[in-house]
Amino acid sequence: MSLRLFKILWVIARHRLDTLIPMERLPLWLRGVMWCLPLRLIPVGKRSRAERLRLSLESLGPIFIKFGQMLSTRRDLLPDDISNELRRLQDQVPPFPGELAVARVERELEMSLEEAFARFDHAPLASASIAQVHAATLHTGEEVVVKIIRPGIDAVMRQDMALMYRAAKLMARVPEARRLRPVEVIRDYESTLFDELDLYKEAANTSQLKRNFKDSALLFVPTIYWPFTRRHVMVQERIRGVPVADLDTLIKQGVNLKKLAERGVELFFTQVFRDNFFHADMHPGNIFVNADNPEDPQYIAIDCGIVGSLTREDQDYLARNLLAFFHQDYYEVAALHIESGWVGENTRANEFAAAIRTVCEPILEKPLKDISFGQVLLGLFQTARRFNMEVQPQLVLLQKTLLNIEGLGRQLYPELDLWSTAKPYLEQWMKERAGIGGLWESLKRQAPELSHQLPELPVLAHQALSRMEQEHRQRHQQAHAITRLDEKFTQQKKRHHRLRVGIALVAVALAWEPLGEWALAQPWQVLAAAAAGLILLLWQ
C-alpha cells in the first residue's frame, strides 16, 4: 500500500503535474505552500503538459486511465491540447506481449491456439486499460476478435481502490464533504470496475444489449461466441466501422454528423427509459460508426463491461426532473427532490426552488445550443450543498454516461441541442408510462402472475380472514388478561395502604404517653413538621 502511494506521488513529481494547477485561482496561503514544495526543483522537461498528463495516467494504471478517457470527451471543459492528447488513452494504451496473450488464451480455453483458431494475430489490434484485443479467424470461417484481460491487473486495481477508500473515509470526516457520500460512491465504482475483469459478465451484457436493439437502425452490437468465452478471455464478432472520434474520415465519407449526434442522444434515452439497461462506458474508444449509408448512420458499440440500470422510482423521478428543467419549473424540481428523499424532508420547497432558479436562469437564458448539461449539473451540486443534498450512488454511472454522450455529441456536431433533442422523447415516454397504454402494458406484464394467483384468491381470502379472526381473539384475550392484572394490582395496592395505616396507628397507640410528653415539650414548628411527615406516610 505504502509503495503504491509512493509511486503515485513519484509519478506526480516526475511529470511535474503541479504545473497543471492554475496557481492564480488558489488561496494565497495555498499558493505559498505550492511555491515551497521541493518538487519545484525537478525540471519540467521538453514534453508538453498534455503529454505529461497522459503519460502519468498511463503509468498509474487502469483506474487513472479510465479517468483520462472520461475527461477526453469533455472538450467543453478542457483545453484542446489536453483533450486531443487524452484521446490516445482510448485505444493506444501500451500493450502487453503477445506471448503472454497466447499463454492466457490457451490456459483459459484449455486447448492449443491451433485447435481454437484457424488464424490468430500475435500483434494486438487495440490495447486498452484493462484488456487488449487480437484479431483471429475461427475454423468455421468467421472473423472474430479475442479480448484478453491484462495479466496481474487485479492486484494493481485492488491497491488503487484501497487508496481511494482511505481518501474517501478521510473526506467523510469533513462535514462539507459528507453529503457526497464518498465511501458509497467508491464502493459503487469498485463493483462496476471489477465487473470488467469478468468477461462472462461483459459477454452477457453484450448479448442483452444486442437483443434490446435487434434490427435497430440506431445501434449494432456484435455477436458473442460463447463456446470460446471464459472469465478472462472473450471471443466476439469482428466489426468494421469508423471510430467515432475520427471526424476527418466521417466527414470525408459524407456522414450526416447532425443526425449522428442526435441519434446518440436518442440512443442514450432509449437505453435508460425504454430498456432500463444502458451502456455506461460510452467513451469514443468503444463507439464506432457504420457509414455504409452516410445519411442514415448507425452506431456500433463494443466493450459492455460496465452497464447500469435504475429502479422504476428513480426512472420516474429522473424523467420528471428533466422535464421540469426543460419547462423551467423549478418548484417542481425542488418538490421532486424532497419527495424522492434526495434532500432532507424538512427542506422548504420554495427556498430550494429559489436557489435552483438563481443558478439555472443565467444558464438557461443562453441559446439552447450553448447550454452544457455538465454546467447545469455542476451548478445544481454547488447549490444543493446548502440543503445537505446527498449524492445518489445509483445515479453516478448515469451522470457519467450522460456527460460522455454530451461530450461525444458536441464533438461530432458542436451545434447539438441536447435539451430540445431529448425533450420530445421524454414527453412521449412519460405519456406512454402514465397513460392508458402504459397501464395496459403494465397489466399485460402482470397478467401471468395474476392468472396464477387468481384460483388461489378464495383460499388466500379465507386464510386472511382466519388470521384476522385469530388476531382479534388474541387481542381480546390479551385485553382481558391486562384488565385482570390491573385489578389485582389495585387490590394489592389497597392492601398495602391499609397495612401501612394499621402499623402507624399501632405505633402511635403504643407510644402515646411518651409521645404526648414529647409533644408538649416541642415548639409548634417541630409539631407541624412531624404532622406533615405522618400525612405523607399515610398518603403513600
CA distances from 522 to 507, 513, 519 (A): 20, 15, 5
Nearest alpha-carbon partner for 145 in 227, 263, 235, 269: 235
Q: Is residue 393's pLDDT more than 80?
A: no
Q: What is the mean pLDDT of residues 479-496?
A: 74
CA distance 462 to 73: 62
Which residue in the block uniquely carries the three cell numbers 411527615?
533
Q: What is the mean pLDDT of residues 358-386?
A: 64
Neighbour tally for 160: CB within 10 Å:
19
The pLDDT of residue 228 is: 94
Q: What is the mean pLDDT of residues 134-140?
A: 94
Q: What is the mean pLDDT of residues 170-196?
A: 69
The pLDDT of residue 510 is: 47
Cβ-count burial of 67 within 10 angstroms (0-12 exposed, 13-18 middle, 19+ buried)? Answer: middle
Q: What is the mean pLDDT of residues 218-231?
A: 94
CA distances from 395 to 182, 277, 390 (A): 13, 13, 11
Q: At what angle do helices 393-412 and 182-195 cross, to 10 degrees?
A: 70
Q: What is the mean pLDDT of residues 164-191?
A: 70
Return mean pLDDT, the chain.
77
Q: Is 215 left (phi over 0), alpha (psi -120 to 50) or beta?
A: left
The pLDDT of residue 134 is: 94
The pLDDT of residue 175 is: 62
Cβ-count burial of 229 within 10 angstroms (0-12 exposed, 13-18 middle, 19+ buried)? Answer: buried
Nearest alpha-carbon partner for 319 in 311, 348, 385: 311
Instruction: Please tell me the pTM assigned to this model.
Output: 0.65
Q: Of residues 373 and 352, which shows the higher confidence score?
A: 352
The half-sphere exposure of 266 on its side-chain side, counting CA atoms within 13 A, is: 17
Catalytic: which of 281, 292, 303, 314? 281
Q: Is residue 344's pLDDT more than 90?
A: no
CA distance 126 to 465: 67
Mind listing the pLDDT tens digit for each residue in 233-258? 999 999 989 998 888 899 999 999 98
CA distance 167 to 406: 29
Pairing of strands 298-301, 219-220: parallel
Q: b vs e for 266-290, b when ≥16 Cβ sit within 10 Å of the residue's Cβ? A: ebbbbbbbeeebbbbbbbbbbbbbb
Q: Is residue 503's pLDDT more than 90?
A: no
Query: Cell digits for 495?
Result: 392492601
Q: Is residue 89's pLDDT more than 90?
A: no
CA distance 147 to 127: 10
Bridge partners, residue 233, by sequence: 148
Nearest alpha-carbon partner for 292 in 217, 358, 379: 217
Specify the range with the lowest mean pLDDT, choosing from 350-354, 362-366, 490-494.
362-366
Contact 210, 192 (CB under 8 A): no
Query: Cell digits for 350?
Result: 420554495
Give the model's confidence band at 505: pLDDT under 50 very low, under 70 low, under 90 confident, else very high. Answer: low
CA distances from 361 to 70, 182, 365, 371, 379 (A): 28, 30, 6, 11, 11
Q: What percent of the chain is predicted at pLDDT more than 90?
A: 19
CA distance 414 to 367: 13
CA distance 240 to 290: 7
Q: Is residue 161's pLDDT more than 50?
A: yes
Q: Of residues 524 and 207, which shows the higher confidence score?
A: 207
Q: Which range has highest mean pLDDT (291-295, 395-399, 463-467, 496-500)?
A: 291-295
Q: Is residue 222's pLDDT more than 90?
A: yes
Which amino acid is present at 222?
P
Query: Cell digits for 167?
Result: 481518501
Mind listing the pLDDT tens digit for each residue in 15-31? 877 777 666 666 677 66
CA distance 499 to 505: 10
Helices (H), 213-326: 247-252, 257-269, 312-326
CA distance 497 to 490: 11
Which residue in the block uniquely carries the three cell numbers 447532425?
258
Q: Is 328 left (phi over 0), alpha (psi -120 to 50) or beta?
A: left
The pLDDT of residue 213 is: 93
Q: Of residues 134 and 459, which shows the higher confidence score?
A: 134
Q: Is residue 379's pLDDT more than 80?
A: no
Q: What is the mean pLDDT of residues 353-363?
A: 77
281 is catalytic: yes
Nearest alpha-carbon partner for 209 in 142, 287, 149: 287
